[in-house]
Structure 1
Amino acid sequence: MSDKPTLAWLGMKNASEVFLSIDGEELSIRRIQQGREVPGRPIGLVGSVGAELANMLVNARQGVVNCRSNALAVRRKKDRLEVEFLSRAAAATRQAYESLSHTTEVCSEFQFASELEGHFLRQGGTGRAYETSVATGTKSDRIWSEPTLTVQMFAGGHSVIDGAAEYCGYKADCSLTVGLSPDNELMRAAGVAAGILGKVVELIRDGDRESSRLVEVCNESLRSNGFSDLPHALGHGLGLDLHEYPFIGRNSSHILTAGDVFMIEPAVYIQGVGGVRLESMFRLDSDGELVTLIDSQNLSQCFSDPFHG
């Protein structure tokens, strides 16, 4: 038998391939980039993830085993410490937006994004979960947009902000739509997005938790109001990666269960006009009860937006 360790491929992180190395009874995380091992601090696995992955590989042959789907399945149900880390990331995100909502002076998209990411740290986060997107006016007709120094926020147009904190590697997720005025042609789209979010949350609370069913309800509402189907997933799980199980998409067979931490993001995009998006974060506790971690509709109200109606 070869004396080389078994390497379980977990996925990609920062342009590196990430492996779980199993050498006898020793477990470690290794990163390989362009054929060379990347030095630095190991990537940690919280809870029993490492041990469970090792059990999956007991009978595996020496060499490389693709365990991406296995890793996501094991990581899906969060333990107590993981829930705490995700809750802290969500709290830092909420408090950062609340702090900035009191000073809505005209500023560039880039300035706002920088201030937001600074507030993630000041509110107890350990960094940003991903690169913050700010899309003002017609730029918001797409899913992601890089903030610029030239486009101004709070100068009469609306903006879609997509940014969240992380805590010890665990990532929150949040999107708001701010600055909509009563005469904005996207007001009706904003009401539709808010209605979809409320309906999906109601279904989950009532136990209707099949991913494909939730997406169907979302798209039916969009079509009945004259809009196109959602061009991206309605939601996904959160954890060490920004996109984890469960996947809440049209072709997903996942059913939301106790222990899941996830987000829901209904949106409307109108090419050449703009878009609106509300992205809220939730978890299902051990009893299956839905707990709201980030309420994007409430945070939008902090910026004097019309989603309350």
Structure 2
Amino acid sequence: MAHFTTDENAQYFACGYSCDHAVFLQLKGEAFFITDARYTLEARANIKNAEVIEASDLWRAVVEKIPSSLKELYFDPAQVSVQAYRHLQEALPNLKLVGDPDHHRKQRIVKTPEQVALLKKAQELNRGAFDAFAKYLHTADTPSEHFLQFKVKEFLTHSGEFDLSFEPIVAVNANAAKPHALPSKDPLKEGDLLLVDVGLKYERYCADRTRTAQFNKGFGFSKEQRFKDQELQKIYAVVQKAQEYTIENLRAGMTGKEIDSLARGVIEKAGYGAYFAHSTGHGIGLDIHELPFISQRSQTIIEEGMVFSIEPGIYIPGKYGVRIEDLVVVQGSRAVVL
């Protein structure tokens, strides 16, 4: 199937190299990595399964490589500008451009054992960053969320060795009620709720983990937490139960919607359904969010080798939020925590 992509992770998956100004073009029996003079030397040193073409006008070079016999060319419409699409339409009037949402993510929805191993290593390094961050907090003097978000990057990147999967989320008390909270200048104090959602990349594969804890002397990011606020303790127990129940009971062959309902059912039964504001999980790999999605709308059939997060949460506006997240791979029809 002939296709093209401008997405860096899709490029890397296809040929082992990517850059921010390139088109990877796959035709029957041949492939091309089209980029400009800034990247051609590096591309030729890293790409073995595609011809590297240097061009100042990438789309003109794409058009020149399309044979007149080609009938269809697939692409992900989310990756292509209207201008580029119109240019291809006008230059190739006899070619059918087939916009297929998530075309390239579909190709990597099932992970190989080697890819699962990279994700597991990324998550192990991520867990180590949590432990190092907790030790640092034992000695910190009422730092602000803003500073903590900056500081956690040091532990995640191992002082620059690794990239981040996404911008870290570090939220205290009421700010944790925002699932993707921006950091404030409010300080972290003894007895505060602290939600940390962070990830690093290992050989381009993403980690993602969330823990919610009560900050005090000797605290850690284990799942076993005790809060002074009894309502908060109840909410934490519900989220923990929802996550563990979902991991224990999900199976290959279920849809993403059915898995989402496992977590959502526990939270709704406890009376907090209105405060679970997002999906139960998302696929992960080269992208931090990729297929499959574990949501109320997902009809994707879960298969062996798929890797995704399980991250239920309850968010009480103006008070606090609780989320617990782990990554799982489907092996032997069941979920195995990475």
Distance 1:39 1:253, change over 3 A: farther
**Counterpart-to-counterpart distance in 2, 1:186 and 1:193:** 11
Per the alignment, residue 258 of structure 2 pairs with 213
Say yes or no: does 1:112 pair with 2:124.
no
Encode CA deviations 1:76-134: one digit per residue, 9 max, x unaligned: 11123322321221111001101222343332223322332211232996211000011
CA 39–274 in structure 1, closer or farther in 2 if over 3 Å, else same: farther
User: Would you say 1:91 and 2:96 are equivalent positions?
Assistant: no
Query: 2:255, 2:315 → 1: CA distance?
Result: 25
1:161–1:177 Cα contact (<8 Å) kept: yes
Secondary structure of the residue aligned to 2:119 is helix
SS in 2 for 1:126: coil
Contact between 2:194 and 2:213, CA under 8 Å: does it hold in 1? yes
Query: Partner amino acid for 2:187?
Result: Q
| 1:20 alignment partner in structure 2 | 24
Using the TM superposition, give the Cα deviation of residue 139 of structure 1 relative to its aligned residue in structure 2, in angstroms. 0.9
For 1:259, the equivalent position in structure 2 comes to 305
Aligned residues of 1:89 and 1:125 also touching (Cα < 8 A)? no
Q: Which structure has the bigger radius of gyration?
A: 2
SS of aligned partner of 1:75 = coil
- The 5 A counterparts of 1:138-177 are 138-148=174-184, 150-177=185-212
How far has the Cα of 1:147 moved from its partner? 2.1
**What amino acid sits opposite 1:137 in the alignment?**
N
Change beyond 3 A, Cα 1:122–1:8: same
Cα distance, 1:256–1:176 mapped onto 2, change above 3 Å: same
Change (3 A) 1:22 1:176: same
Match of 1:300 in 2: none
CA contact (8 A) 1:9 1:65 kept: no
TM-score of the aligned structures, taking structure 2 as reference length: 0.69
157-166 vs 101-110, which moves further: 101-110
Tell me the TM-score normalised to structure 1 length: 0.75
**Structure 2 CA distance for partners of 1:115 and 1:258, relative to 1, 3 Å:** same
Deviations 1:231-250 (A, max 9, x none): 21111110111111111110
CA contact (8 A) 1:10 1:68 kept: no
> What do residues 2-60 of structure 1 show as CA deviations (whole Å, max 9, x unaligned)?
xxxx76246588xx797432367233276xxxxxx795576xx99x9xxxxxxxxx752
The alpha carbon displacement at 1:261 in A equals: 1.1
What residue number does 1:8 align with? Answer: 4
CA–CA distance in 1 between the matches of 2:229 and 2:336? Answer: 34
Give the counterpart letter for 2:26 in structure 1: I
Letter in 1 for 2:31: E
Aligned to 1:274: 320
CA displacement, residues 192-218 of structure 1 (integer Å, 9 cap, x when unaligned): 0000011101112x6573321222222
Tell me: CA distance 1:125–1:220, structure 2 relative to 1, closer, same or farther (3 Å). farther
CA contact (8 A) 2:252 2:302 kept: no
Aligned pairs, number: 266
Partner SS for 1:186 = helix
Q: Which has the higher contact order (CA 8 A, sep 6+)?
A: 1
Q: How far does residue 159 in structure 1 lie from its aligned partner after superposition? A: 1.7
RMSD, aligned α-carbons:
3.2
1:291 and 2:326 matched: no
Gaps of 5+ in 2: 10-19, 50-69, 74-91, 215-225
